[in-house]
Chains A and B, each alone.
Chain A
Amino acid sequence: MHPAIDWFSLPSLLKFLAAWMLLLSFALLAQRRLLSLIHLLAWQGVTLAVSTALVAELTGDRLLWLSAALTFALKGLLVPTLLHRLLRRLQVRGDVEMSLNVTSTQLIGIVLVIFAFALAAPLSGALPAATHGMLGIALAAFLLAFLMMITRRKAISEVVGFLAMDNALFFAATSATLGMPLIVELGVALDALIAFVILGVFFFHIRESFESLDLHWLEHLREDQ
């Protein structure tokens, strides 16, 4: 007799969200339009906020609710809106050039996921039952975002990859370890915000000097120059 799986219990919902997170990471990897990239990033932020809220409910840790609200405001709303505005102000349009085509990127992505799960498998013994497999998914999302950064050529899409990496990290922190200490989380959020502001400033400077956000321009500093 198998016990019936409770689809709506908190741990299984959390696992569903984890799978959704991974799916979004793959979608980011495949997407070529800048605008859709930003939408996907916002969805990732919202997923992150919901999963943080679930963990808060699961552990009864009040402070995690605060963190969930913060995540929603910052990663779900503020950052995508700002990126959106930036895109309009800078009038960047169109597709992202990739240095590798979508199919091969996706295939490499699958290999990365397998690698991440293989790496995380021996660790799951030490985990609380609710979070089995989470670490593997977080690691996979992290590596996928990294892959995205490597294969894109425009400054903005590189930043989207960077932010997706950040999301994966937060996912690891909340879902796999059931919440980092608040003081650390606040510090990390603050740093992320400052980094984002600096990036925005940067875009304008880069555009001013090079009249393009294409990173081809940023390849003058080479060894033998």
Chain B
Amino acid sequence: MILLWLLGSALAGVPILAFWGDGRKGRWLFVAINFLVLLCSVLAAKDFLQHGPLAAMGEELRMDAFSLILVLLNSVVGMMTAWFSAGYWQQEVQHHSFGKGRQRLYHAMFQSFLATMLLALLSNNLGILWVALEGATLSTVLLVSLQRSGESLEAAWKYFILCGVGLAMALFGTVLLYFAAQPVLGTGARALLWSALHHHAASLNGTVMALTFVFILVGYGTKVGLAPLNSWLPDAHAAGPSTVSAVLSGLLLNVALYAILRYKSLADAALGPVFASRLLLAFGLLSLLLAAFSMLRQHDVKRLFAYSSVEHMGIICIAFGLGGPLAIFAGVLHMLGHSLAKSSVFFSVGRAVQESDSRELEDLRGILASRPVLGWSLLLSILAILGMPPGSLFLSEFLIVVASIQQAWFITPLLLLGLGTAFAAILPRLLQMLYGAPNSPKVMLSSKDLRPAFLQILAVMTLGIWIPASLDSWMHSVAGILQ
């Protein structure tokens, strides 16, 4: 029941914001709706604690520990983004003089993006999962092209076509899965339910499942931003509003990876664990290295951190590719830490870009002296993303390196090379941003708007030191769910 409330409140927000999503009331309505969603997901977590996995609508919706963790993460980051957006969007509206229609479009599409991602996480039907991810893509296309400038249109077109092709491949993979499931589960909607498939996964045809997983990995992998299919990602991040970059990096990439992992658990049971794990490891390493070296020559701050998202997705893929309880625990922790830290990076960077009216790293200098609050939020969030203790990314990266030494020592040097290169790419830029010769900003904006960024950094640091007992047990049980 609570699942329906959760999904319903998120979906109902879309038409509400489409009608009343302009001006001051629109911005606060957006916050209120996402607060309600957060409340519902906390209640769902409470239900989960009492009853275990929840289901609704005859197993069409289902929430186990893995989806619960990501639902909570999505609603927390969604709420924080809405809060940050209240100040950020006001400034954007003034700067670009967006009309009422454009403001409603922004809020409605943003809400539809958040709602479809929730649907993707809660759906037990792998067909609906695809529909939801496609819906999320379509909503963000309109968000990326919001400015209607040449650059944003080009980025949105590239995003649309590349992710469209990727999703078409994923749909082919879904069809193939249905094809494999028919002899075992018969026709009808049951044959696409993950829980039913997982129960019978060992009897699925191995050859078909291998082909399915390849299509799914390439298809949803485009959305995750795995190399070499990541060329849409930096463009879309740079061209869209920073709030959109925050949720693209923080949430969408996670949800697409979640879809791949659901399929991986089925492929593992049908084929043995080697096939899918090796593919995931290879794609993960390639993304990590490619992104890390691309970061060295970026001069646009948002593109820099977009590549950093590709790098982190690579690390997470390596964790899940390694498999085993330790690596999977680290992978889930890294998903959490990356989402929280990366969205606060984009909040801070977005604010800095607004104040200087430029995305060039050259123009963002000496922030710590002239604007200490913004400087600190940049410093803390970027250090967290670099994997500095006490942030939780330090813990998860450490665990992943340990797991790689235990299970596949030959990838450890490559992993360390990637991490080191990313560090070397970001740290000098960070220092310049903080301490370089000051550059007077075009406008000075209230630093109160940065509160969500600080709250999220606090959460990352807390997770690095102390993980709540219930969250810890959920994260431990993910390994069991995915096997």
Where the two chains meet, the residues of A that have a C-beta atom closer than 8 Å to any C-beta of B are: 61, 119, 122-123, 126, 135, 139, 142, 146, 149, 155, 158, 162, 165-166, 169, 172-173, 176-184, 187-188, 190-191, 194-195, 198-199, 202, 205-206, 208-210, 217-221, 223-224
Contact = CB atoms under 8 A, between A and B. Distances in A.
Contact of B153 (A166, A187, A209): A209
A191 B149 contact: no
B165 A177 contact: no
A221 B191 contact: no
B155 A198 contact: no
Given A165-B168, A181-B188, A218-B158, A198 B175 contact: no
A183 B150 contact: no
A177 B148 contact: no
Contacts of B153: 202, 205-206, 209-210, 218
Contact of A198 (B127, B138, B150): B138
A191 B138 contact: yes
A122 B60 CA distance: 32
A180 B181 CA distance: 11
Interface string B132-167: 001100100110010011110111111011001100
Interface string B157-185: 11011001100100110110011101100
Contacts of B125: 181, 183-184
B187 interface: yes
Contacts of B189: 181-184
A176 B175 contact: yes
Contact of B208 (A126, A146, A184): A126
Interface of B: 60, 125, 127-128, 130-131, 134-135, 138, 141-142, 145, 148-151, 153-158, 160-161, 164-165, 168, 171-172, 174-175, 178-180, 182-183, 187-189, 191-192, 205, 207-208, 211, 235, 294, 297
Given A169-B168, A223-B294, A209 B187 contact: no
Contacts of A139: 172
Q: Which 4 A-B pairs have the closest CB atoms?
A: A184-B127, A187-B131, A181-B189, A191-B134
B157 A162 contact: no
B211 A123 contact: yes
A206 B157 CA distance: 9
B182 to A, nearest CB: 6
Given A188-B171, A209-B153, A224 B297 contact: yes
A218 B158 CA distance: 8
Centre residue among A139, A166, A180, A217 by max chain B CB count within 10 A: A180
A163 to B, nearest CB: 10
Contacts of B151: 220-221
Given A119-B211, A202-B145, A180 B154 contact: no
Contacts of A209: 148-150, 153
A181 B188 CA distance: 5
A79 to B, nearest CB: 15
Contacts of A223: 294, 297
A142 B170 CA distance: 12
B255 to A, nearest CB: 16
B201 to A, nearest CB: 16
Contacts of B187: 61, 178-179, 181
